[in-house]
Amino acid sequence: MRIFRRVVMPVAWLAVFAVIAVALVKIAFVDGMKPEQALAGPAAEVAVPVIQATRATVTNKVQVTATVQSDAPVGVRNTAAGVVTHIYLAAGTNVNSGERLFQVRAEVQPEPTARVASEPTAATGQPGGAAAAQVRPVASPTYTYTDVLAPASGVLETLTVLIDQQVSVGEAAGTVNPGTFTVSGSVDAAQQYRLLAKPGSAQISVVGGPAPFTCASVVLTSAAGAQGNATGGLSGGVSRSVPYAASPVPGGGIPEQGGTPTGTLSCAVPPEVEVFAGLGATMTVTAGEAADVITVPLTAVEGSVKEGLVWLAGSGTAPEPGGNGANGPAGGPAGGPQQRKVQLGLNDGSMVEVVSGLAEGEAVLEFIPGAPAQVPTGPQFAGPGSYRTGG
Protein backbone atom coordinates (compact mmCIF):
# COMPACT_ATOMS: atom_id res chain seq x y z
CA MET A 1 0.00 0.00 0.00
CA ARG A 2 2.86 2.30 0.80
CA ILE A 3 4.46 1.49 -2.57
CA PHE A 4 1.13 2.24 -4.36
CA ARG A 5 0.82 5.66 -2.82
CA ARG A 6 4.46 6.60 -3.19
CA VAL A 7 5.26 5.14 -6.61
CA VAL A 8 2.16 4.15 -8.61
CA MET A 9 -0.03 7.21 -7.90
CA PRO A 10 2.63 9.81 -8.73
CA VAL A 11 3.52 7.99 -11.92
CA ALA A 12 -0.17 7.88 -12.92
CA TRP A 13 -0.60 11.61 -12.32
CA LEU A 14 2.53 12.35 -14.33
CA ALA A 15 1.14 10.26 -17.17
CA VAL A 16 -2.20 12.18 -17.09
CA PHE A 17 -0.47 15.57 -17.09
CA ALA A 18 1.80 14.43 -19.91
CA VAL A 19 -1.21 13.46 -22.06
CA ILE A 20 -2.87 16.82 -21.35
CA ALA A 21 0.29 18.70 -22.26
CA VAL A 22 0.73 16.78 -25.51
CA ALA A 23 -2.94 17.48 -26.44
CA LEU A 24 -2.55 21.21 -25.80
CA VAL A 25 0.60 21.38 -27.87
CA LYS A 26 -1.15 19.57 -30.77
CA ILE A 27 -4.13 21.91 -30.66
CA ALA A 28 -2.00 25.05 -30.45
CA PHE A 29 0.80 24.28 -32.88
CA VAL A 30 -0.39 21.49 -35.15
CA ASP A 31 -4.14 21.85 -35.78
CA GLY A 32 -3.95 25.66 -35.65
CA MET A 33 -1.59 25.75 -38.66
CA LYS A 34 -3.93 23.83 -40.97
CA PRO A 35 -6.11 25.93 -43.43
CA GLU A 36 -9.70 26.30 -42.26
CA GLN A 37 -12.24 24.56 -44.44
CA ALA A 38 -15.13 26.66 -45.78
CA LEU A 39 -18.52 25.69 -44.47
CA ALA A 40 -21.17 24.86 -47.02
CA GLY A 41 -24.12 27.27 -46.86
CA PRO A 42 -27.00 28.62 -48.94
CA ALA A 43 -26.03 30.62 -52.04
CA ALA A 44 -28.04 32.94 -54.30
CA GLU A 45 -27.52 33.96 -57.92
CA VAL A 46 -28.99 37.25 -59.18
CA ALA A 47 -30.66 36.75 -62.56
CA VAL A 48 -31.76 39.59 -64.88
CA PRO A 49 -35.46 39.12 -65.77
CA VAL A 50 -36.01 38.71 -69.49
CA ILE A 51 -39.33 38.80 -71.35
CA GLN A 52 -40.26 37.88 -74.91
CA ALA A 53 -42.21 40.08 -77.31
CA THR A 54 -45.56 38.35 -77.81
CA ARG A 55 -48.75 39.00 -79.74
CA ALA A 56 -51.81 40.21 -77.85
CA THR A 57 -54.74 42.62 -78.04
CA VAL A 58 -54.24 46.06 -76.47
CA THR A 59 -57.32 48.03 -75.44
CA ASN A 60 -56.60 51.64 -74.52
CA LYS A 61 -59.17 52.03 -71.73
CA VAL A 62 -58.71 54.97 -69.32
CA GLN A 63 -60.64 55.29 -66.05
CA VAL A 64 -60.99 58.72 -64.43
CA THR A 65 -62.44 59.66 -61.05
CA ALA A 66 -65.03 62.36 -61.77
CA THR A 67 -67.76 64.46 -60.17
CA VAL A 68 -71.22 65.46 -61.38
CA GLN A 69 -71.44 69.25 -61.73
CA SER A 70 -74.30 71.61 -62.59
CA ASP A 71 -73.77 73.51 -65.82
CA ALA A 72 -73.20 77.25 -65.44
CA PRO A 73 -76.12 79.61 -66.12
CA VAL A 74 -76.30 81.20 -69.57
CA GLY A 75 -76.31 85.00 -69.62
CA VAL A 76 -79.05 87.04 -71.32
CA ARG A 77 -77.69 90.07 -73.21
CA ASN A 78 -79.48 92.91 -74.96
CA THR A 79 -79.38 92.76 -78.73
CA ALA A 80 -80.61 96.33 -79.31
CA ALA A 81 -80.13 99.77 -77.74
CA GLY A 82 -83.21 101.66 -76.63
CA VAL A 83 -85.96 101.69 -74.01
CA VAL A 84 -87.61 98.61 -72.52
CA THR A 85 -91.30 98.81 -73.38
CA HIS A 86 -92.61 95.34 -72.51
CA ILE A 87 -91.57 92.37 -70.32
CA TYR A 88 -93.06 89.05 -71.40
CA LEU A 89 -91.80 86.69 -68.67
CA ALA A 90 -90.86 87.04 -65.00
CA ALA A 91 -87.90 85.52 -63.16
CA GLY A 92 -88.45 81.90 -62.11
CA THR A 93 -90.39 80.97 -65.25
CA ASN A 94 -89.48 78.00 -67.43
CA VAL A 95 -88.40 79.17 -70.87
CA ASN A 96 -87.51 77.58 -74.18
CA SER A 97 -84.59 78.58 -76.33
CA GLY A 98 -85.65 81.45 -78.60
CA GLU A 99 -88.68 82.45 -76.49
CA ARG A 100 -89.34 86.23 -76.07
CA LEU A 101 -88.20 87.72 -72.75
CA PHE A 102 -88.69 91.50 -73.19
CA GLN A 103 -89.00 94.14 -75.89
CA VAL A 104 -86.78 97.12 -76.65
CA ARG A 105 -87.92 100.18 -78.59
CA ALA A 106 -85.34 102.19 -80.53
CA GLU A 107 -85.95 105.54 -82.20
CA VAL A 108 -84.92 105.78 -85.83
CA GLN A 109 -83.70 109.18 -86.93
CA PRO A 110 -85.01 109.94 -90.45
CA GLU A 111 -82.63 110.94 -93.20
CA PRO A 112 -82.90 114.66 -94.11
CA THR A 113 -84.92 115.49 -97.29
CA ALA A 114 -84.01 118.34 -99.71
CA ARG A 115 -86.38 120.88 -101.22
CA VAL A 116 -85.11 122.41 -104.47
CA ALA A 117 -85.87 126.15 -105.00
CA SER A 118 -85.13 127.82 -108.34
CA GLU A 119 -83.53 131.28 -108.49
CA PRO A 120 -84.10 133.77 -111.41
CA THR A 121 -81.38 133.90 -114.01
CA ALA A 122 -79.49 137.09 -114.81
CA ALA A 123 -80.47 137.00 -118.49
CA THR A 124 -84.19 136.35 -118.39
CA GLY A 125 -85.14 137.07 -114.85
CA GLN A 126 -87.07 133.79 -114.84
CA PRO A 127 -86.62 130.90 -112.42
CA GLY A 128 -84.36 128.10 -113.56
CA GLY A 129 -80.96 129.18 -112.38
CA ALA A 130 -78.77 127.42 -109.77
CA ALA A 131 -80.78 125.41 -107.27
CA ALA A 132 -80.49 126.19 -103.58
CA ALA A 133 -80.98 123.18 -101.29
CA GLN A 134 -82.97 123.70 -98.16
CA VAL A 135 -83.24 121.00 -95.44
CA ARG A 136 -86.68 120.17 -94.09
CA PRO A 137 -86.80 117.73 -91.07
CA VAL A 138 -89.50 115.13 -90.77
CA ALA A 139 -92.15 116.12 -88.25
CA SER A 140 -92.66 112.75 -86.42
CA PRO A 141 -89.90 110.17 -85.58
CA THR A 142 -90.18 106.48 -86.37
CA TYR A 143 -89.42 103.52 -84.05
CA THR A 144 -88.25 99.91 -84.32
CA TYR A 145 -89.15 97.20 -81.83
CA THR A 146 -86.74 94.33 -81.02
CA ASP A 147 -87.55 91.26 -78.94
CA VAL A 148 -84.71 89.90 -76.77
CA LEU A 149 -84.86 86.08 -76.85
CA ALA A 150 -83.86 83.38 -74.37
CA PRO A 151 -80.38 82.03 -75.24
CA ALA A 152 -81.16 78.53 -73.89
CA SER A 153 -83.93 76.40 -72.47
CA GLY A 154 -84.28 76.15 -68.71
CA VAL A 155 -85.36 78.36 -65.83
CA LEU A 156 -85.18 82.15 -66.09
CA GLU A 157 -83.24 82.70 -62.86
CA THR A 158 -82.87 86.48 -63.05
CA LEU A 159 -84.20 89.31 -65.21
CA THR A 160 -82.77 92.69 -64.24
CA VAL A 161 -84.41 95.05 -66.75
CA LEU A 162 -87.35 97.36 -65.90
CA ILE A 163 -90.04 99.07 -67.93
CA ASP A 164 -88.80 102.39 -69.49
CA GLN A 165 -85.19 101.47 -68.67
CA GLN A 166 -82.61 102.67 -71.14
CA VAL A 167 -80.44 99.72 -72.23
CA SER A 168 -77.47 99.34 -74.54
CA VAL A 169 -76.27 96.60 -76.88
CA GLY A 170 -74.47 93.76 -75.09
CA GLU A 171 -75.63 94.78 -71.62
CA ALA A 172 -76.31 91.86 -69.23
CA ALA A 173 -80.04 91.53 -68.60
CA GLY A 174 -80.42 88.19 -66.73
CA THR A 175 -79.49 84.52 -66.59
CA VAL A 176 -81.07 81.25 -67.69
CA ASN A 177 -80.20 78.09 -65.76
CA PRO A 178 -80.25 75.20 -68.26
CA GLY A 179 -80.72 72.57 -65.51
CA THR A 180 -78.22 70.27 -67.22
CA PHE A 181 -75.21 68.47 -65.75
CA THR A 182 -71.67 67.59 -66.75
CA VAL A 183 -69.43 64.79 -65.47
CA SER A 184 -65.91 66.15 -65.09
CA GLY A 185 -62.63 64.75 -63.75
CA SER A 186 -58.91 65.55 -63.78
CA VAL A 187 -56.39 63.56 -65.84
CA ASP A 188 -52.63 63.36 -65.37
CA ALA A 189 -49.94 63.49 -68.04
CA ALA A 190 -49.84 59.72 -68.63
CA GLN A 191 -53.60 59.57 -69.12
CA GLN A 192 -53.60 62.65 -71.34
CA TYR A 193 -51.00 61.05 -73.62
CA ARG A 194 -53.20 57.95 -73.86
CA LEU A 195 -56.16 60.13 -74.88
CA LEU A 196 -54.47 61.69 -77.92
CA ALA A 197 -56.80 59.61 -80.12
CA LYS A 198 -59.73 61.96 -79.19
CA PRO A 199 -62.32 59.54 -77.73
CA GLY A 200 -65.88 60.14 -78.83
CA SER A 201 -67.86 58.75 -75.90
CA ALA A 202 -67.47 57.50 -72.33
CA GLN A 203 -69.14 55.03 -70.00
CA ILE A 204 -70.29 56.72 -66.78
CA SER A 205 -70.91 54.92 -63.48
CA VAL A 206 -72.43 57.20 -60.80
CA VAL A 207 -72.08 56.31 -57.13
CA GLY A 208 -75.52 55.56 -55.71
CA GLY A 209 -77.11 56.62 -58.99
CA PRO A 210 -78.66 54.98 -62.05
CA ALA A 211 -77.19 52.12 -64.05
CA PRO A 212 -74.03 52.92 -66.04
CA PHE A 213 -74.86 54.98 -69.11
CA THR A 214 -73.11 56.19 -72.24
CA CYS A 215 -72.11 59.84 -72.37
CA ALA A 216 -71.42 61.28 -75.83
CA SER A 217 -69.17 64.16 -76.89
CA VAL A 218 -66.22 63.78 -74.52
CA VAL A 219 -64.17 66.99 -74.23
CA LEU A 220 -60.51 67.09 -73.13
CA THR A 221 -59.23 70.51 -72.03
CA SER A 222 -55.84 71.68 -70.78
CA ALA A 223 -55.15 72.58 -67.16
CA ALA A 224 -55.75 76.32 -67.79
CA GLY A 225 -59.14 75.63 -69.39
CA ALA A 226 -59.99 73.15 -66.65
CA GLN A 227 -59.68 75.85 -63.98
CA GLY A 228 -62.17 78.04 -65.80
CA ASN A 229 -64.65 75.21 -66.13
CA ALA A 230 -64.29 74.32 -62.46
CA THR A 231 -65.21 77.81 -61.25
CA GLY A 232 -68.20 78.27 -63.49
CA GLY A 233 -69.55 74.76 -63.60
CA LEU A 234 -70.68 74.60 -59.97
CA SER A 235 -72.62 77.86 -59.76
CA GLY A 236 -76.28 78.34 -60.34
CA GLY A 237 -77.40 74.78 -59.81
CA VAL A 238 -81.12 74.25 -59.32
CA SER A 239 -80.91 70.76 -57.89
CA ARG A 240 -80.04 69.73 -54.36
CA SER A 241 -76.43 68.92 -53.59
CA VAL A 242 -75.37 65.45 -52.48
CA PRO A 243 -72.11 64.94 -50.51
CA TYR A 244 -69.27 63.61 -52.59
CA ALA A 245 -68.50 59.91 -52.28
CA ALA A 246 -65.48 58.06 -53.58
CA SER A 247 -66.37 56.12 -56.68
CA PRO A 248 -65.23 52.49 -56.96
CA VAL A 249 -64.21 51.03 -60.28
CA PRO A 250 -66.28 48.07 -61.51
CA GLY A 251 -64.39 44.90 -60.68
CA GLY A 252 -63.00 45.98 -57.34
CA GLY A 253 -60.08 48.12 -58.56
CA ILE A 254 -59.45 51.82 -58.25
CA PRO A 255 -58.99 54.43 -60.96
CA GLU A 256 -55.42 54.64 -62.19
CA GLN A 257 -54.90 58.31 -61.36
CA GLY A 258 -52.22 59.56 -59.02
CA GLY A 259 -50.02 62.03 -60.95
CA THR A 260 -50.25 65.80 -61.10
CA PRO A 261 -53.44 66.88 -62.97
CA THR A 262 -52.65 68.32 -66.39
CA GLY A 263 -56.14 68.54 -67.86
CA THR A 264 -59.84 67.88 -67.43
CA LEU A 265 -62.02 65.28 -69.12
CA SER A 266 -65.71 66.21 -69.22
CA CYS A 267 -68.89 64.95 -70.82
CA ALA A 268 -72.49 66.23 -70.85
CA VAL A 269 -75.00 64.00 -69.02
CA PRO A 270 -77.94 63.00 -71.27
CA PRO A 271 -81.18 64.84 -70.34
CA GLU A 272 -83.04 61.60 -69.63
CA VAL A 273 -80.56 60.52 -66.92
CA GLU A 274 -81.39 61.84 -63.44
CA VAL A 275 -78.36 62.92 -61.41
CA PHE A 276 -77.53 65.53 -58.77
CA ALA A 277 -74.62 67.93 -58.41
CA GLY A 278 -71.85 66.61 -56.18
CA LEU A 279 -72.24 62.90 -56.87
CA GLY A 280 -69.03 60.93 -57.40
CA ALA A 281 -68.63 59.02 -60.64
CA THR A 282 -66.18 56.93 -62.63
CA MET A 283 -65.64 57.85 -66.27
CA THR A 284 -64.35 55.01 -68.47
CA VAL A 285 -63.07 56.07 -71.87
CA THR A 286 -62.00 53.67 -74.61
CA ALA A 287 -59.59 55.39 -76.99
CA GLY A 288 -58.70 52.68 -79.47
CA GLU A 289 -58.01 48.96 -79.67
CA ALA A 290 -55.22 47.09 -81.45
CA ALA A 291 -55.79 43.37 -82.04
CA ASP A 292 -53.09 40.73 -82.58
CA VAL A 293 -50.12 43.09 -82.30
CA ILE A 294 -46.61 42.68 -80.87
CA THR A 295 -46.53 43.80 -77.24
CA VAL A 296 -44.09 44.14 -74.37
CA PRO A 297 -44.61 45.34 -70.78
CA LEU A 298 -44.36 49.09 -70.19
CA THR A 299 -41.63 48.34 -67.64
CA ALA A 300 -39.40 47.15 -70.50
CA VAL A 301 -39.68 50.39 -72.50
CA GLU A 302 -38.19 53.79 -71.79
CA GLY A 303 -40.91 56.11 -73.06
CA SER A 304 -44.54 55.28 -73.77
CA VAL A 305 -45.64 57.59 -76.61
CA LYS A 306 -44.69 57.20 -80.31
CA GLU A 307 -41.02 56.27 -79.74
CA GLY A 308 -39.24 54.28 -77.06
CA LEU A 309 -36.11 52.31 -76.20
CA VAL A 310 -35.82 48.63 -75.31
CA TRP A 311 -32.78 46.58 -74.29
CA LEU A 312 -32.24 43.30 -76.11
CA ALA A 313 -31.21 40.51 -73.76
CA GLY A 314 -27.52 39.56 -74.11
CA SER A 315 -26.12 36.06 -73.98
CA GLY A 316 -25.15 36.50 -70.33
CA THR A 317 -28.64 37.37 -69.10
CA ALA A 318 -30.84 34.74 -67.53
CA PRO A 319 -34.47 34.35 -68.61
CA GLU A 320 -37.21 34.98 -66.09
CA PRO A 321 -38.17 31.70 -64.38
CA GLY A 322 -41.63 30.62 -65.43
CA GLY A 323 -42.20 33.78 -67.49
CA ASN A 324 -42.69 34.38 -71.20
CA GLY A 325 -38.93 34.42 -71.58
CA ALA A 326 -38.30 31.09 -69.86
CA ASN A 327 -36.87 29.71 -73.08
CA GLY A 328 -35.19 32.68 -74.67
CA PRO A 329 -34.48 32.54 -78.41
CA ALA A 330 -31.06 31.51 -79.56
CA GLY A 331 -28.82 33.91 -81.41
CA GLY A 332 -29.32 36.87 -79.08
CA PRO A 333 -26.80 39.69 -78.79
CA ALA A 334 -23.47 38.58 -77.46
CA GLY A 335 -22.29 40.09 -74.21
CA GLY A 336 -24.44 42.60 -72.34
CA PRO A 337 -27.86 44.05 -73.30
CA GLN A 338 -28.06 46.19 -76.45
CA GLN A 339 -30.29 49.25 -76.80
CA ARG A 340 -32.76 49.48 -79.67
CA LYS A 341 -35.25 52.19 -80.72
CA VAL A 342 -38.84 51.06 -81.38
CA GLN A 343 -42.03 52.70 -82.60
CA LEU A 344 -44.92 52.48 -80.12
CA GLY A 345 -48.68 52.42 -80.51
CA LEU A 346 -51.49 51.98 -77.99
CA ASN A 347 -50.94 51.00 -74.38
CA ASP A 348 -53.37 49.87 -71.69
CA GLY A 349 -51.36 50.98 -68.69
CA SER A 350 -49.39 47.73 -68.40
CA MET A 351 -48.67 46.53 -71.96
CA VAL A 352 -47.69 48.63 -74.97
CA GLU A 353 -47.99 47.91 -78.70
CA VAL A 354 -44.70 47.81 -80.63
CA VAL A 355 -45.44 49.02 -84.16
CA SER A 356 -41.93 48.46 -85.51
CA GLY A 357 -38.39 47.77 -84.35
CA LEU A 358 -39.03 44.47 -82.54
CA ALA A 359 -39.97 41.06 -83.88
CA GLU A 360 -42.18 38.51 -82.21
CA GLY A 361 -40.19 36.24 -79.90
CA GLU A 362 -37.23 38.55 -79.41
CA ALA A 363 -36.11 38.69 -75.79
CA VAL A 364 -35.75 42.03 -74.02
CA LEU A 365 -35.02 43.04 -70.45
CA GLU A 366 -38.25 43.19 -68.45
CA PHE A 367 -37.05 46.27 -66.55
CA ILE A 368 -35.13 49.33 -67.81
CA PRO A 369 -31.47 49.15 -66.72
CA GLY A 370 -30.78 51.59 -63.91
CA ALA A 371 -34.45 52.35 -63.27
CA PRO A 372 -35.29 52.87 -59.58
CA ALA A 373 -37.03 49.96 -57.90
CA GLN A 374 -40.76 50.35 -57.37
CA VAL A 375 -41.77 49.58 -53.82
CA PRO A 376 -45.27 48.06 -53.68
CA THR A 377 -47.80 50.02 -51.70
CA GLY A 378 -49.88 48.67 -48.86
CA PRO A 379 -49.00 46.64 -45.74
CA GLN A 380 -46.18 44.17 -46.21
CA PHE A 381 -44.86 41.41 -43.92
CA ALA A 382 -41.48 42.50 -42.52
CA GLY A 383 -40.73 39.67 -40.10
CA PRO A 384 -42.22 37.54 -37.35
CA GLY A 385 -44.92 39.51 -35.57
CA SER A 386 -44.41 42.77 -37.47
CA TYR A 387 -45.66 44.53 -40.60
CA ARG A 388 -44.42 47.52 -42.53
CA THR A 389 -46.15 49.84 -44.97
CA GLY A 390 -44.62 50.50 -48.35
CA GLY A 391 -45.20 53.38 -50.73
pLDDT tens sequence across 106-148? 988 776 655 545 455 555 555 554 444 555 555 577 889 999 9
| Domain membership flag for residue 1 | no
- Examine the pLDDT at 384 and tell me if it is beyond 70: no
Amino acid making up residue 44: A
**How many whole angstroms from its chain centre is CA 192?**
5
| Domain membership flag for residue 387 | no
Give the mean pLDDT of the chain: 75
- Examine the pLDDT at 236 and tell me if it is beyond 70: no
Do 281 and 311 fall within a single domain? no
Residue 41 — pLDDT band, cuts 50, 70, 90?
Answer: low
Do 68 and 82 fall within a single domain? no
| Domain membership flag for residue 54 | yes
- Could you tell me which residues come within 8 angstroms of residue 360 by beta carbon, excluding any fewer than 6 positions away? 53, 54, 55, 294
d(C-alpha 210, C-alpha 164), whole Å: 49
Do 355 and 310 fall within a single domain? yes
Q: What CATH code is carried by the domain that includes residue 258?
A: 2.40.30
Do 207 and 270 fall within a single domain? yes
d(C-alpha 83, C-alpha 93), whole Å: 23
Do 308 and 333 fall within a single domain? yes
Range of the domain at 156: 75-120+129-177
Residue 77 — pLDDT band, cuts 50, 70, 90?
Answer: very high
- Examine the pLDDT at 243 and tell me if it is beyond 50: no
| Domain membership flag for residue 10 | no
Do 112 and 202 fall within a single domain? no
| Domain membership flag for residue 209 | yes
53-62, 137-146, 187-196, 380-389: which has the highest mean pLDDT?
Answer: 53-62
Residue 15 has what pLDDT?
Answer: 84
Residue 217 — pLDDT band, cuts 50, 70, 90?
Answer: confident
Residue 181 — pLDDT band, cuts 50, 70, 90?
Answer: very high
65-79, 258-272, 298-312, 365-379: which has the highest mean pLDDT?
Answer: 65-79
- Examine the pLDDT at 247 and tell me if it is beyond 70: no
Do 226 and 87 fall within a single domain? no
Burial class of residue 386 in the structure, from the number of CB atoms within 10 Å of its CB (0-12 exposed, 13-18 middle, 19+ buried): exposed
Residue 9 has what pLDDT?
Answer: 80
d(C-alpha 355, C-alpha 295), whole Å: 9
- Examine the pLDDT at 309 and tell me if it is beyond 60: yes
- Examine the pLDDT at 302 and tell me if it is beyond 70: yes
- Examine the pLDDT at 365 and tell me if it is beyond 50: yes
Residue 295 has what pLDDT?
Answer: 92
Burial class of residue 366 in the structure, from the number of CB atoms within 10 Å of its CB (0-12 exposed, 13-18 middle, 19+ buried): buried
- Examine the pLDDT at 386 and tell me if it is beyond 50: no
- Examine the pLDDT at 328 and tell me if it is beyond 90: no
Determine what percent of the chain is predicted with pLDDT higher than 90: 31
d(C-alpha 268, C-alpha 311), whole Å: 44
- Examine the pLDDT at 102 and tell me if it is beyond 90: yes
- Could you tell me which residues come within 8 angstroms of residue 36 by beta carbon, excluding any fewer than 6 positions away? none
| Domain membership flag for residue 92 | yes
- Examine the pLDDT at 233 and tell me if it is beyond 60: no
Q: How many domains does the chain have?
A: 3
- Examine the pLDDT at 368 and tell me if it is beyond 70: yes
Q: What CATH code is carried by the domain that includes residue 55?
A: 2.40.420
Higher pLDDT, 53 or 26: 53
Do 284 and 356 fall within a single domain? no
- Examine the pLDDT at 242 and tell me if it is beyond 60: no
pLDDT in tens, 256-267: 445 688 889 999
pTM of the model: 0.59
Do 214 and 151 fall within a single domain? no
Do 183 and 65 fall within a single domain? yes
Residue 37 has what pLDDT?
Answer: 62
Q: Which of 159-173, 293-307, 318-332, 366-380 has the lowest mean pLDDT?
A: 318-332
